[in-house]
Homo-oligomer: A and B are copies of this chain.
Amino acid sequence: MARAGLSPQVVVRAGADLADEVGFDEVTPSALARRLGVRAASLYSHVGGADDLRTRIALLALDELADLASEALAGRSGKDALVAFAGCYRDFAREHPGRYAAMQVRLSPEAAAAGPGGRHADLTRAILRGYGLTGVDETHAVRLIGSVVHGFTTLELGGGFDHSAPPPDRTWSRILDGVDTVLRSWAAPS
């Protein structure tokens, strides 16, 4: 009887790919087992169950996106960094909708701590070096960037922009212009 050569890594990656194709909600042990050509019970040697599978996919996606964002930020600062960082998130969501959806699951405290949760905040903070924001201003700015990028990306992915005329790309760059302006105004002593 030939073996499929599974391992936790292989299973989780296949789960992430499946999520991108059919949606994160459709990623179930049985569906994943079908795709991998094994029986559902066989997956329980590699992942703990449906919840564990979803959590691991989320952590994988967070890690992958953090890698991409880290690379995109290298050597950039100020608005250049902001645009690169935001574009990274948006592109990731469009190319990997299932992984992006996975990232939204509320992680258990231990999973969040052990995982790459803090990496994203650190990366966002790195953008702000060019803006000279410190202390609470820095945190406000991290939250502003996160809100705008995540909000736009989610709405675009959900089809919220499909019914009105101008292409989302135009809106995207105008919004980033606006964020840049706001961040620079925050840098000035208020």
**How many A residues touch B, CB cutoff 8 Å?**
37
How many chain copies does the complex carry?
2
Name the one of B149, B150, B152, B166 contacting A139, with C-beta atoms under 8 angstroms.
Answer: B166
* Most chain B CB neighbours (cut-off 10 Å) among A174, A185, A186: A174
Assess the B175–A185 pair: CB atoms within 8 A: no
Residues of B close to A186: CB separation below 8 A: 174, 178
Tell me whether A136 is interfacial, beta carbon within 8 Å.
Answer: yes
Footprint of B on A, CB under 8 Å?
A: 104, 106, 121, 136, 139-140, 142-144, 146-152, 154-155, 158-161, 163-166, 168, 170-171, 174-175, 178-179, 181-182, 185-186
7 A-B interface contacts by CB (under 8 A): A146-B151, A147-B152, A148-B148, A150-B154, A154-B154, A181-B181, A181-B185
